[in-house]
């Protein structure tokens, strides 16, 4: 049911009501501590020397002058950490600092620790690096055609392979060609999604502290020390593992702490050079070392959205049922693999809902180029194909004279079903999402009926609620939570979840308060420290509410059971009749019988001893097929979204004014509707920014120097200001997932997807011009408008429902 922001009747006291974020006051008053706020006695400041070349062999590095500079305490180069790493265990292709080759402008070569930043910067100038420049690859198609006559971006794993290819995936489900041939209408389109980056407000920052000796033993028995790293990361657990492996320190002697993080969006979801450098420099100098990226370095670290070159063929029957989908995708990966193996799969795997596809084939290839590495950005790997596909559907609907919302309804895949690629779908509120945006936007009265220049567009999408499998294969839980209560009534929650602004600390606090009946301010969340919080795999793939939430419920209910039992014994009633709510223990049949929850906890402690519990969550394993790659894209639950965007196109300038986006999202259950709406609006905003202005692009040989970032600053890499941002209306849909905590699914990434195709489709409704390439920036739209003027096609499209669909042989619409 849709609550549209109103409180719905609920079995819960707190869950489903608007609540504060537990760290909200600290953040709004400036008290909150981020990594760069931390200062330690004797702390040194580090800087990283970066390659000015897109592709070059390192001939020699001379650091002697830098080391001799007054105030410099340590210098490291790639030779000091000659172990490769990579977030995906099968593609470790990065060194903390380049050892023999640099692969993009900005690749790290050496690092310095000095008494202050200025001294460290002067030291960088004294490091002499001799490079032998190599031919470089910037265009993914040229990289694909490389024959090895010049060095590939990476050495091929086998002699006859193209070292520029990270991963190729080809998967086929059903009778693609037969069904395509038998379709009444086939639409063919070519799309390009430009790369974009995350622009989290906090640049990456890390502090390393090595404490030598202390009886800590290395695995090889040699006396060693203890390494502590504070980092603005989304993945403390994976960082913990990689620091230990690369720096050869026993994992038990490595501690990773995650202070509050000022946004991440996928841009901090793997180890980065600075984390290894602060650790190594501290091991060398014996002092704490901090490195804070400049904004420019954040653009080089990147790991943002891959540029996607996409070709789609989509077939349907005259009645508007999808028949077959055929996709060919080339991903421009940049210099390193990052999450690229997963991205290559996600590019195809995540398209198979919310519409039923009788047949589907995709061919997806990720290519290395000499540019900053691409990786996961909010809606990892699926935002780009979703853009293309939802525009394809718009084109098909028009060809079949069907309302595009009606077309989507006709193809709804349903709940409790399997997709063509065998992913299990449970709860599915997509139809309610469509209905909400249709109603709220007054779609039926306005689609194809607004004046020329004004338009409405619709799009839908789905997204995972966490990946079903961890990045490194293991059977342990994905998430763990530990809880204890003390004699004051205070509940301490030890949570490994990564608070990156999305509200996961609050989420576990709400659950503890709900289950144990304490006021919210009785809950203290202790978090982000691998020494004392249970493992959670990280804040990525929209997994945290579902997985950590279930773990928190597990832990809390174990404690609650003990408290109920102790109180029941005291009152001589059944444990199931004891309620914990509102700071009280109450007897359900007569709530006049009650005691303060603190007394209840004390009774339980007297009965059971010190009170604590652990809870964990692991995913169900029967939610995907058996073919190679079947597990990638598998998730315990899927969220669903529909958007309607309203635009006004200035036909003289190409400036698109997005006036409003209606965002309907099935999040399962909104544990706190305020935070859900925040995620929905933030997602729609981010998609809108990518749609209209964001471009992570590079100079070419005719413009300065090939491979040089076009504009690594927030002045020139434009993201929308508040004045540019459209009105956003959030419409929460609650399908109550059978396995989610209280029925919750994700809300952090799914609601981004439809923004972009909804805007593209709205532009078409406004002026009859298809925008198949991102971004829809004023110059790009102006060029499309000029072409339409030239071809005399610049006009309001006409809705002709019921005119009847073509029944003859399928007609390809090239360039449609």
Partner 1 sequence: MLRLPPFRYHRPATVAQAIEVMGEHAGDAMFVAGGTDLIPNMKHRLFEPGHLVALKGIEELRGVRIDDGHLRIGAAETISHVASNPEVLNRFPALADAAGHIAGPQLRNSGTIGGNLCLDTRCTYYNQTAFWREALGYCLKKDGDVCHVIRVGKKCVAAHSADTPPVLMTLDAVATLVGPDGQRSVPVRDFFVADGIVNSRRAPDEIVTELRIPLASAERKQAYAKLRVRKSIDFPLLTVAIAADLDGDGTVRSIEGVVTALGSRPHVLTGWGDVAVGRRLDDQVVDELAERAHKQCHPLENMIVDHEWRRAMVPVYVRRALEKLGAA
Q: Which residues are at the interface with partner 1 (CB under 8 A)?
A: 50, 52-53, 105, 117-118, 121, 203, 292, 294-296, 652-654, 693, 703-705, 708-713, 715-716, 718, 720-724, 777-779, 782-783
Of residues 143, 148, 138, 179, the one with CA closest to residue 54: 138
Residue 299 or 389 with smaller CB distance to partner 1:
299
Residue 682 or 775 with smaller CB distance to partner 1:
775
Residue 53 or 399 with smaller CB distance to partner 1:
53
Question: Which are the contacts of 540, defined by CB distance < 8 A and separation ≥ 6?
Answer: 234, 235, 266, 269, 376, 380
Of residues 439, 441, 443, the one with CA closest to residue 799: 443
- Say which DSSP state 577 is in: G
- Say which DSSP state 588 is in: T
How large is the angle between the packed helices 597-608 and 544-571, nearest 10 degrees? 80
CA distances from 619 to 467, 471, 623, 678 (A): 9, 14, 9, 27
Residue 39 or 723 with smaller CB distance to partner 1:
723
Distance between CA atoms of residues 737 and 639, nearest Å: 10
Report the nearest approach of partner 1 to the CB of residue 784 (Å).
12
- Say which DSSP state 430 is in: H
Residue 125 or 142 with smaller CB distance to partner 1:
125
Report the nearest approach of partner 1 to the CB of residue 790 (Å).
13
Report the nearest approach of partner 1 to the CB of residue 52 (Å).
4
Report the nearest approach of partner 1 to the CB of residue 114 (Å).
12
Report the nearest approach of partner 1 to the CB of residue 336 (Å).
19
Residue 723 or 791 with smaller CB distance to partner 1:
723
* Helix ranges, 60-183 (H): 64-68, 117-126, 140-144, 176-181
Cβ proximity of 55 and 134 under 8 Å: yes
Residue 55 or 408 with smaller CB distance to partner 1:
55
Give the DSSP H/E element, type plus range, for residue 666: strand 656-666
Copy the structure tokens of residue 253: 């002697």
Report the nearest approach of partner 1 to the CB of residue 726 (Å).
12
Residue 700 or 816 with smaller CB distance to partner 1:
700
Copy the structure tokens of residue 747: 């809300």
Report the nearest approach of partner 1 to the CB of residue 782 (Å).
5
Residue 243 or 784 with smaller CB distance to partner 1:
784
Residue 222 or 702 with smaller CB distance to partner 1:
702
Residue 574 or 783 with smaller CB distance to partner 1:
783
Report the nearest approach of partner 1 to the CB of residue 698 (Å).
11
Copy the structure tokens of residue 647: 């635009």
Query: In this structure, what is the dihedral angle of CA atoms 344, 349, 354, 356, given to the nearest 10 degrees?
Result: 130
Distance between CA atoms of residues 206 and 193, nearest Å: 32
Residue with tokens 């309203």: 646
Q: What are phi and psi of 164, to 5 degrees?
A: -85, 0
Residue 137, SS3 per DSSP: coil
Question: How far, rounded to the nearest angstrom, does the alpha carbon of residue 151 sit from its chain's CA centroid?
Answer: 33
405: Cα within 13 Å, side-chain hemisphere? 26
Copy the structure tokens of residue 382: 């699926």
Kindly write down the DSSP assignment for every residue of 9-39, as one continuous string: P-S-SSTTS----TTHHHHHHT-PPBGGG--
Cβ proximity of 583 and 490 under 8 Å: no
Report the nearest approach of partner 1 to the CB of residue 777 (Å).
7
Residue 636 or 687 with smaller CB distance to partner 1:
687
Report the nearest approach of partner 1 to the CB of residue 693 (Å).
6
Report the nearest approach of partner 1 to the CB of residue 798 (Å).
28
Residue 81 or 120 with smaller CB distance to partner 1:
120
Report the nearest approach of partner 1 to the CB of residue 277 (Å).
17
Residue 67 or 296 with smaller CB distance to partner 1:
296
Report the nearest approach of partner 1 to the CB of residue 705 (Å).
5
- Say which DSSP state 463 is in: E
Sheet holding 101-102, edge to edge: 101-102, 56-62, 128-133
Residue 363 or 700 with smaller CB distance to partner 1:
700
Report the nearest approach of partner 1 to the CB of residue 323 (Å).
40
Report the nearest approach of partner 1 to the CB of residue 741 (Å).
40
Of residues 374, 375, 376, 372, the one with CA closest to residue 103: 372
Burial (Cβ within 10 Å: 0-12, 13-18, ≥19) of residue 498: buried
Give the DSSP H/E element, type plus range, for residue 61: strand 56-62
**Whole-angstrom distance between the N-terminal and C-terminal Cα of the chain?**
38
Q: How many residues are recorded in the chain?
A: 816
């Amino acid at each position: 049911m849709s609550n549209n922001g109103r409180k719905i009747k609920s079995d819960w006291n707190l869950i489903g009501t608007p609540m504060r974020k537990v760290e909200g006051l600290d953040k709004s008053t400036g008290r909150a501590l981020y990594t760069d706020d931390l200062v330690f006695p004797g702390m040194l400041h580090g800087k990283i020397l970066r390659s000015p070349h897109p592709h070059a062999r390192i001939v020699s590095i001379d650091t002697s002058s830098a080391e001799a500079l007054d105030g410099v305490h340590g210098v490291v180069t790639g030779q000091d950490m000659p172990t490769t790493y990579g977030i995906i265990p099968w593609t470790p292709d990065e060194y903390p600092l380049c050892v023999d080759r640099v692969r993009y402008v900005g690749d790290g070569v050496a690092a310095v620790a000095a008494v202050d930043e200025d001294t460290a910067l002067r030291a960088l100038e004294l490091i002499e690096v001799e490079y032998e420049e190599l031919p470089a690859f910037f265009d993914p198609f040229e990289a694909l055609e490389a024959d090895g006559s010049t060095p590939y971006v990476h050495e091929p794993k086998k002699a006859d392979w193209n070292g520029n290819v990270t991963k190729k995936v080809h998967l086929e489900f059903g009778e693609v060609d037969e069904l395509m041939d038998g379709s009444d209408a086939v639409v063919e389109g070519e799309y390009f999604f430009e790369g974009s980056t995350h622009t989290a407000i906090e640049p990456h920052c890390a502090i390393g502290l090595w404490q030598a000796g202390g009886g800590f033993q290395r695995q090889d028995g040699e006396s060693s020390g203890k390494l502590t790293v504070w980092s603005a990361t989304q993945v403390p657990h994976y960082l913990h593992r990689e620091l230990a492996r690369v720096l050869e320190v026993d994992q038990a002697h490595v501690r990773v702490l995650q202070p509050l993080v000022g946004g991440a969006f996928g841009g901090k979801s793997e180890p980065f050079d600075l984390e290894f450098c602060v650790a190594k420099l501290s091991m060398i100098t014996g002092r704490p070392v901090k490195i804070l990226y400049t904004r420019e370095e954040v653009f080089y670290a990147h790991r943002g959205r891959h540029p996607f070159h996409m070709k789609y063929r989509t077939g349907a029957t005259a009645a508007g049922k999808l028949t077959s989908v055929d996709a060919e995708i080339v991903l421009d990966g940049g210099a390193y693999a990052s999450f690229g193996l997963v991205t290559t799969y996600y590019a195809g795997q995540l398209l198979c809902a919310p519409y039923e596809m009788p047949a589907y084939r995709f061919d997806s290839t990720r290519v290395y180029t000499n540019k900053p590495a691409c990786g996961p950005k909010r809606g990892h790997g699926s935002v780009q194909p979703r853009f293309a596909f939802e525009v394809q559907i718009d084109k098909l609907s028009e060809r079949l004279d069907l309302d595009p919302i009606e077309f989507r309804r006709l193809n709804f895949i349903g709940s409790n079903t399997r997709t063509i690629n065998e992913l299990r779908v449970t709860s599915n509120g997509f139809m309610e999402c469509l209905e909400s945006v249709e109603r709220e936007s007054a779609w039926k009265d306005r689609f194809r009926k607004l004046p020329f220049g004004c338009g409405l567009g619709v799009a839908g999408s789905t997204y995972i609620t966490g990946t079903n499998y961890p990045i490194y294969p293991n059977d342990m839980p994905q998430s763990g939570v530990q809880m204890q209560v003390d004699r004051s009534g205070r509940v301490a929650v030890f949570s490994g979840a990564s608070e990156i602004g999305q509200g996961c600390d609050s989420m576990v606090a709400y659950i503890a308060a709900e289950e144990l009946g304490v006021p919210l301010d009785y809950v203290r969340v202790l978090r982000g420290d691998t020494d004392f919080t249970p493992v959670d795999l990280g804040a990525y793939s929209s997994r945290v509410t579902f997985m950590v939430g279930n773990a928190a419920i597990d832990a809390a209910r174990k404690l609650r059971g003990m408290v109920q039992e102790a109180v029941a014994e005291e009152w001589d009633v059944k444990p199931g009749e004891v309620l914990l709510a509102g700071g009280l223990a109450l007897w359900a049949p007569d709530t006049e019988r009650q005691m303060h929850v603190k007394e209840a906890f004390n009774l339980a402690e007297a009965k059971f001893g010190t009170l604590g519990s652990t809870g964990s969550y692991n995913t169900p394993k029967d939610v995907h097929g058996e073919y190679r790659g079947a597990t990638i894209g598998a998730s315990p639950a899927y969220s669903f979204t529909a958007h309607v965007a309203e635009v006004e196109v200035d036909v003289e300038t190409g400036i698109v004014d997005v006036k409003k986006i209606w965002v309907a999202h099935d999040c399962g259950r909104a544990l706190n509707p305020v935070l859900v709406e925040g995620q929905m609006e933030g997602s729609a905003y981010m998609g809108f920014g990518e749609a209209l202005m964001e471009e992570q692009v590079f100079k070419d040989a005719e413009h300065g120097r090939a491979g040089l970032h076009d504009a690594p600053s927030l002045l020139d890499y434009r993201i929308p200001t508040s004045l540019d941002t459209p009105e956003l209306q959030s419409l929460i849909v609650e399908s109550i997932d059978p396995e989610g905590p209280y029925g919750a699914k994700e809300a952090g990434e799914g609601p981004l997807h439809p923004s972009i195709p909804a805007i593209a489709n709205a532009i078409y409704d406004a002026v009859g011009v298809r925008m198949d390439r991102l971004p829809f920036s004023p110059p790009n739209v102006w060029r499309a408008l000029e072409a339409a003027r030239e071809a005399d096609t610049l006009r309001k499209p006409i809705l002709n429902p019921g005119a009847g669909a073509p029944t003859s042989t399928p007609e390809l619409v090239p360039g449609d």
